[in-house]
Structure 1
Amino acid sequence: MSSKLVLKDDLLNHFPEILDHVSDAVFIFDHEARILWLNKGVCDTLNIPRDVFIGKTQQQLVDEGHIRGSVVYSAIRQRKEVSGIVNTRAGIEAMTRCSPIFDSQGNLVFVVCTSTDIKELNDLRVTLEKEQRQSKNYLRELEYLRKILLLNEDFIFDSTQMKSLLEDIMKLAPFDYTVLITGESGVGKEVIAKTIHTNSTRKNEPFIPVCIPAIPPNLLESELFGYEGGTFTGSLREGKTGLLEIAQGGTLFLDEIGDIPLDIQVKILRAIETNEIRKVGSTKTVKLNLRIIAATNKPLDQLIKNRTFRKDLYYRLSVVPIHIKPLRDRPEDILPLCHRFLQEINKKYTLNKTISKEALDVMKQYSWPGNIRELKHSVERLTALSNGDLIIPDDVKKIFKYPSVGDPENQPAVTESPIKEFEAMEKDKILNALKQANGNKKKAAELLGMTRTKFYRRLERYS
């Protein structure tokens, strides 16, 4: 028994030395996020002596520029393990995990954090992939399983149109050609783009989706191409890596490409043609190795006629054009989609909702202007408003303002879809805000809690 105590004491005495031999950076904080101890890995990573850090808070490290980002405070606030990305002054990007430790009364005593260089993780992944390639049989089985998972999780369909589309995707995926995906809003253009990426030779590299309208026009160039430090007021001192560069080796998905300004179109075209970019404020070029997939719900041919979209960029993007038909043209897909959405909702909320065949027949008669996105929101509404576990035709007719079941023709008389209802409500709010602000758009945006960019976009949509 005494030998065990001696061993335990010896272990405790050498514990700091043991942690110094751990390759990861290890911090120990108190309940106020003040550093109590750190291992040699932290000192090596930040290139600063240990005694400089002891007693400082995580916020002080951020304020002094040693790191960007903090996970400790989230772990303290949420009282559970939290993970996140932290960047160092030296340009190291680290995956950080912080775990709170409590005493017997449940009081927070310590927070232990470990950080691993993401580059090291990527190197380990590359090594693992090389080892996996040694077994061709294993890889074939892995590819087969991935395709099965793909069909079960991302591609939900039963129509011949989508089956044919999937066959085309499997044929073109291995080639690095640019792809232009067209179709109405909500048909699943990003799902198609992900499917192409997942079945390509770039599947183990990043898939970076970019929604063009979500980025303010004045920031779009710097977000896509990056910038050098100090290029403009408010820019980061060390500069910023653009999304095109972040997607290196993988796939960049440019959603709503029809909304991209003409001056940026020229630079996108050049990036595709030369496979290189130049950051804002830089004279150096950066070589690119990526695939570009673009998507739009707008008629690009009409935009070309209106001279708001470049014809040469259109030809560059549409080497392989893909058109996704709207849901109303493939009603066979409504049943598997509904079952999938119900499965997700039942799992999330511990429900046992099902939908009757008759209810599905009624849903097939609807035109679904919002496509799959509208269908998903409608299923969510049905699960919330239906009385029993079985969703029946009356439930469907109620949310879409159908006539009663006793209607002799039993035909849908839809006045508005849920999306149309929402848009009408949002339009009223915008008009009321403009009245309150006496036509001042800036004040109206503030009243609604919207950014000016978002407000102007909504205003343009409803005008």
Structure 2
Amino acid sequence: MKTMSAKELGTKDFQEILDNIMESVSVMDENGVVMWTNKANREKLGITTEVIGKEAKYLVQEGLIDKAVVYEAIESGKFTASIISKGSEKDVIVYCNPVYDEEGKIKFLVSSAMTCSEVNQILETLETERRINKTYLAEIKHLRNTLLLGEDFVIESTNMKCLLEDVQKLAPIDCSVLVTGESGVGKEVMVKTIHKNSIRKEGPFITVSIPSIPDNLLEAELFGYEEGAFTGATRGGKIGLFELAQGGTLFLDEIGDIPYALQVKLLRAIENGEIRRVGGTKLIKIDTRIIAATNKHLEQMIKKSLFREDLFYRLSVMHLHIKPLRERLEDIKPLGEQFIQNFNNKYKTDKKITEPAFNLMKKYPWPGNVRELKNLVERLGILSNGDLITAEDVQAVLSKISNTIDDIDPDHLSDDWKTNSQLTEEYSSYERTKILEALKTAHGNKTKAAELLGISRTKLYRKLKNL
């Protein structure tokens, strides 16, 4: 279908355009003769007769209005605004702006009108939005006053606000906490927030990523070891992470990956507040708060005898579950705005994300959650041509991704993404990176890598053939 150019638009086309503008619009020549007027203008001024070709003063003579603002604009040569009477009511605000030709003479004048009730409605809407924003800002200020939150901890959803209220209550209490949720939802940020607001905030915060440590070394890393405990042991022995975290917090990340045989030793350490180094006989008192996190369903692992039930209950005195980003879409905009602001601060740019772009983001299932959103915003900051990041920019990046390595439920995908035909290039790159990272973390152990990726070993081998 051929697209009509501006030059091909005729008088009828312009009249249709004017009639479909909600605001009142009229165009007059340099003498105040009406050239065009739209439907909204006629309705606001109560004009029922034909006025095209007549001077604006005709409306005054007919008693439809008490004065014609266009003459003030012609005389002053400047933008003019005034409230005029329509019948017995003073309820119409009229604006008139002269347009000049190349020689500096008035070519025509454009006038628009808005009733006072419309202005009041706009003011009421703005006031409502202002109150909502004020309430939201007050809530955030309250949370920031009662919780030591980082500037990048941005929330708007009710779910996250409730979680932070729970954090406010449990942070000062020296109990174990289990934080669950999909990869990338912000579990570590939540854990750090608990530590920063606890009585141990001046103490160390030690993080241990369970999957990153080989099973045969994990016990020694956690509890330490004595000299000669095993072949290759460091001379003089080594203190473990429990001891390093004395007086502070030990964060056990991805606790669902801890070997079953080691779980009972971890349970005893938490229950008794004592540890014994590998190869040692002396019990060492520990004063460490334990916070654990996982993206696995520990309850299901308990049923399969992969995770001890008693350890689960000991770790989850308080249980915080962070919902995936696709279930708290209200957080996408404030998070995106914060990420692009961070990008601007770092690279001295002035990028902004448009509302349609955010609306499109809300249709995507976000398998990588907040981490993926952050990466996307950084990529959009790099690839966007202008300062405005549009829906087209978002579509260009996200339309290439069909699903995730975890096989996201198709029900989570909107129709816009289900029907897109360009879904492979960037996904392949993303999938390849995730597989290689998992293999590196698992030190080449494909069974372990498959567990990290949340897929079967057979599926991993199939994917490796296509790399």
Mapping of 1:46-445 within 5 angstroms?
147=145, 150-151=148-149, 153-401=151-399, 411-413=416-418, 420-426=427-433
Counterpart contact for 1:370–1:419, Cα < 8 Å: no
Counterpart contact for 1:230–1:239, Cα < 8 Å: yes
Quickly say closer, same or farther: Cα 1:199–1:306, change in 2 above 3 A: same
SS across alignment from 2:416: coil
Distance of 1:267 and 1:202 partners within structure 2: 24
- Cα displacement (A) at 1:416: 5.5
The aligned counterpart of 2:57 is none
SS across alignment from 1:452: coil
Deviation per residue, 1:77-128 (Å, 9 max, x gap): xxxxxxxxxxxxxxxxxxxxxxxxxxxxxxxxxxxxxxxxxxxxxxxxxxxx
- Cα displacement (A) at 1:252: 0.7
Residue identity opposite 1:374 in structure 2: E
Deviation per residue, 1:298-320 (Å, 9 max, x gap): 01111011111001101111111
Distance of 1:248 and 1:227 partners within structure 2: 17
Please tell me whether residue 458 in structure 1 is matched to residue 465 in structure 2: no
- Cα displacement (A) at 1:289: 0.6
Counterpart contact for 2:227–2:233, Cα < 8 Å: yes
Distance of 2:400 and 2:244 partners within structure 1: 49
Q: Which structure 2 segments of 5+ residues have no match?
A: 1-141, 402-413, 454-459, 462-467
Q: Which structure 1 segments of 5+ residues have no match?
A: 1-143, 404-408, 431-444
- Cα displacement (A) at 1:400: 0.8
Residue identity opposite 1:319 in structure 2: V
Quickly say closer, same or farther: Cα 1:237–1:418, change in 2 above 3 A: farther
| C-alpha RMSD of matched pairs (Å) | 2.9
Counterpart contact for 1:169–1:196, Cα < 8 Å: yes
- Cα displacement (A) at 1:422: 3.6
SS across alignment from 2:275: strand
SS across alignment from 1:153: coil
Distance of 1:450 and 1:189 partners within structure 2: 19
Counterpart contact for 2:228–2:235, Cα < 8 Å: yes
Question: In percent, how many aligned pairs have the same letter?
Answer: 56
- Cα displacement (A) at 1:456: 5.1
Distance of 1:311 and 1:450 partners within structure 2: 27
SS across alignment from 2:192: helix
Counterpart contact for 2:442–2:449, Cα < 8 Å: no
Residue identity opposite 2:443 in structure 1: R
Distance of 1:451 and 1:262 partners within structure 2: 17
Counterpart contact for 1:226–1:242, Cα < 8 Å: yes
Q: TM-score, normalised by structure 1?
A: 0.60
Residue identity opposite 2:449 in structure 1: R
Counterpart contact for 1:369–1:417, Cα < 8 Å: no
The aligned counterpart of 2:30 is none
Quickly say closer, same or farther: Cα 1:147–1:218, change in 2 above 3 A: farther
Deviation per residue, 1:263-313 (Å, 9 max, x gap): 111111000110000000100011011110111110111101111100110
Q: TM-score, normalised by structure 2?
A: 0.59
Counterpart contact for 1:229–1:238, Cα < 8 Å: yes
Distance of 1:200 and 1:357 partners within structure 2: 38
- Cα displacement (A) at 1:455: 5.5
Counterpart contact for 2:442–2:448, Cα < 8 Å: no
SS across alignment from 2:432: helix
Distance of 1:371 and 1:145 partners within structure 2: 23
SS across alignment from 1:252: strand
- Cα displacement (A) at 1:411: 3.2
Distance of 2:146 and 2:294 partners within structure 1: 28
> How many correspondences in the alignment?
299
Counterpart contact for 2:400–2:426, Cα < 8 Å: no
Distance of 1:269 and 1:187 partners within structure 2: 27
Distance of 1:419 and 1:371 partners within structure 2: 17
Counterpart contact for 2:263–2:308, Cα < 8 Å: yes
Structure whose CA Rg is larger: 2
Residue identity opposite 1:247 in structure 2: A
Quickly say closer, same or farther: Cα 1:163–1:323, change in 2 above 3 A: same
Residue identity opposite 1:458 in structure 2: A
Segment drifting more, 411-420 vs 279-288: 411-420
Distance of 1:162 and 1:419 partners within structure 2: 31
